[in-house]
Amino acid sequence: MARTRKPADHAARRTTILDAAERLLFERGYEQMTVQHLIDTLGISKGAFYHYFASKQAVLEALVDRIATQSENALLPMLDDPRLGAIAKLNRFFAATGRWKAARHDALVAYTRALYSDDNLRFRERLYSRARKGIQTPLIRILAQGNREGSLKVANAEASSEVVMALMIDLSDSLSRLVLQPLEAGTRTHARNRLVAYTEAIARALGAAEGSLVIMDAAALTVWFGGRGKGNKA
């Protein structure tokens, strides 16, 4: 009689394959990684691999979904909190994301370096696209709440959420590329200037009061770009 695999066993085995794929992704790059590399790393048969994933592309989709879901979950606890206004929800989301990244600074620098390699261009594009779709729905809810409260002024919550997501992804891309450059005396000032400009743009797009939004605080900025130094005024 054929052995029936329990759902928990299936999920655990699938996670093991994804963990190995993520390691190989950052060691070799998506374009250079093959199904055979995964099979050899895990010591499994081709049949076992294809039982869980139809192709390398399917592994990519699953990895992107897993990483994006982890980020989206940061929004969920605060979405239905009746004590929080829209501005507070936005700032808590920004703060939670900043703390999570700061606590994993060294790992994320290596992650970012791998993410921005030429071999991972397709993975990076899919990740940004998935993040945009996943975070947009809860963001629409927050913007609609802000409209009702009067703390935000947007003509259309869905359209405004698209603008905010575009700005956030562009800011993330800009700061990520700056992180990968050699740390120089003026790096923190450059990062702060970009952060201020994007924060002002997002606040204007949402009709938020000046200074009400904080995307990254001074402590998080220091973790990523160093403290005051020659050429650094902030």
Q: Exposed/middle/buried for 191, CB within 10 Å: 0-12, 13-18, 19+?
A: buried
Residue 110 confidence (pLDDT) above 80: no
Residue 231 confidence (pLDDT) above 70: no
In angstroms, rounded to a whole number, what is the distance separating the alpha carbons of residues 76 and 182? 36
CB-based contact 134:72 (threshold 8 Å): yes
Confidence bin at 132 (pLDDT 50/70/90): confident
In angstroms, rounded to a whole number, what is the distance separating the alpha carbons of residues 214 and 168? 12
Instruction: Give percent above pLDDT 70 in the chain.
Output: 85
| pLDDT at residue 102, as a whole number | 58
How many CB atoms are located within 10 Å of the residue 211 CB?
9
Residue 227 confidence (pLDDT) above 60: no
Most confident of 65-79, 105-119, 166-180: 166-180
**In order of start, what are the domains of the chain with their CATH numbers?**
7-57 (1.10.10.60), 73-225 (1.10.357)
Phi, psi angle pair for 51, to nearest 5°: -70, -30
| pLDDT tens string 54-64 | 998 888 888 87
Most confident of 31-45, 60-74, 102-116, 179-193: 31-45
Which of 66, 102, 74, 101 is closest to 90 using CA atoms? 74
Average per-residue pLDDT for the chain: 82
